[in-house]
């Protein structure tokens, strides 16, 4: 390990990995305040936004690949990636086309409904597949 810095919500480590005559530095950014099977508390929202910003800054400084992964590879991983993409979009476009809070809430409600329908489709298709495989 080359370096390590800790904050209450995350740890940043720099490693040097090597094999034979080659080595590669790896920057490991670990958000530690995100519970498994849940989301950070409302009090941690500012912290997670700051962490996403730090990760994005690091990503913009390198051409190396960025890997995002939680223990299972789903849930927190997808949530983090979606948050990063939304924050990038907001920075690039500044929501110039959205006139106010009412329209922002409407967009959120549309996305929520889309997610609920997709989740229901997934459950329904799982049941059909399960029934078909039993006969």
Domain limits, the chain = 41-124
User: Is residue 110 flagged as an active site residue?
Assistant: no
**Token duo for residue 89:** 């979009």
Question: Following CA atoms 74, 77, 78, 83 in sequence, which dihedral angle do they give, to the nearest 10 degrees?
Answer: 160
The pLDDT, as a whole number, for residue 131 is 45
Q: Under 8 Å CB-to-CB from 35, ≥6 apart: which residues?
A: none
Over range 64-91, report the average pLDDT.
Answer: 85
Bridge partners of 31, per DSSP, are 10
Q: Catalytic one among 59, 70, 87, 98? A: 70
State what percent of residues in the chain have pLDDT above 70: 87
Are 77 and 68 in contact by the 8 Å Cβ rule? The answer is yes
**Token duo for residue 3:** 């370096």
Are 122 and 128 in contact by the 8 Å Cβ rule? The answer is no
Which pTM was predicted?
0.72
131 vs 72, higher pLDDT: 72
126 vs 38, higher pLDDT: 38
Bridge partners of 3, per DSSP, are 14
Whether residue 72 has pLDDT greater than 70: yes
10: three-class secondary structure by DSSP: strand
């Amino acid at each position: 390990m080359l370096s390590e810095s800790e904050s209450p919500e995350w740890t940043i480590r720099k490693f040097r990995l090597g094999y034979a005559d080659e080595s590669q530095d790896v920057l490991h950014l670990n958000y530690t305040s995100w519970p498994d099977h849940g989301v950070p508390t409302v009090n941690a929202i500012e912290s997670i936004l700051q962490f996403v910003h730090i990760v994005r800054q690091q990503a913009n400084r390198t051409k190396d690949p960025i890997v995002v992964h939680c223990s299972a590879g789903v849930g927190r991983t997808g949530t983090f990636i979606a948050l990063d993409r939304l924050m990038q979009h907001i920075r690039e476009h500044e929501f110039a086309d959205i006139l106010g809070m009412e329209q922002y809430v409407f967009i959120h409600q549309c996305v929520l409904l889309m997610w609920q329908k997709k989740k229901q489709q997934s459950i329904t298709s799982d049941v059909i597949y399960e029934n078909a495989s039993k006969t």
